[in-house]
Amino acid sequence: MALFSALMVITSKNPVYSVLWLIVTFFAISGHYILLNAQFLAVVNIIVYAGAIMVLFLFVIMLMNARQEGASGSKRWITLAGTVSGGIFLLVLVAALKDSELKSRTAMVMDGQVGLIKVLGNELFTRYVIPFEISSILFLSAMVGAVVIGKKD
């Protein structure tokens, strides 16, 4: 389901449909997080990506009223070349990793304490408190930068 909706993201002509398919992709990925019992990340993924970022994308697309991209003449071979190179990339990595030693490893599903918010929060505010504060400063500077760039001058 994640793969299908991700394919629809890049094949939709209308950018609004593309955004909606991307939201479906993010929900599928959040479902994978829940299956891996990473509950905190699943909730954060839904709130941040499917909520905030996608609303921002939709807002910008509606604001621009850019319905569809104009079909240019030399677009066909660019599409072909991009698809072929992406497929070759996938093929090479799959072939390289198919017989690696990871083959016998398994990921713990539906169990384990590591993804719970208690464990993550405890770690985040003790050992990782400096990166946390730095990321908050990054957010502040990104907000100021967005306002400065988007300002009418």
Partner 1 sequence: MPINYYLFLSLALFSIGMVGVLTRRNAIIIFMCIELMLNAVNLLLVAFSKMHYQVALEAGQLATQAGVEGQLFVFFIMVVAAAEVSVGLAIIVMMYRNVHSVDINFLNRLKH
Residues numbered 24-53 forming contacts with partner 1, rule: CB under 8 A: 25-26, 29, 32-33, 36-38, 40-41, 44-45, 48-49, 52-53
Cα distance between residue 142 and residue 3, in whole Å: 31
Query: Could you say whether residue 129 binds partner 1 (CB under 8 A)?
Result: no
Which of 55, 62, 123, 133 touches partner 1 (CB under 8 A)?
Answer: 123
141 burial (CB, 10 Å; 0-12 / 13-18 / 19+) is exposed
Report helix angle 2-11 to 15-35, nearest 10: 160
Q: Measured from the CB of residue 112, what is the shortest distance to partner 1 in angstroms?
A: 5
Binding mask 49-78 for partner 1 (x = CB under 8 A): x--xx--xx--xx-xx-x--xx-x--x--x
Binding of partner 1 at residue 15 (CB under 8 A)?
Answer: yes
Instruction: State how far the alpha carbon of 48 is from the alpha carbons of 100, 114, 121, in Å.
Output: 34, 21, 17
Question: Six-digit token pair at 36?
Answer: 């891996």
Q: Per CB under 8 A, which of residues 78..97 are in contact with partner 1?
A: 78-79, 81-83, 85-87, 89-90, 93-94, 97
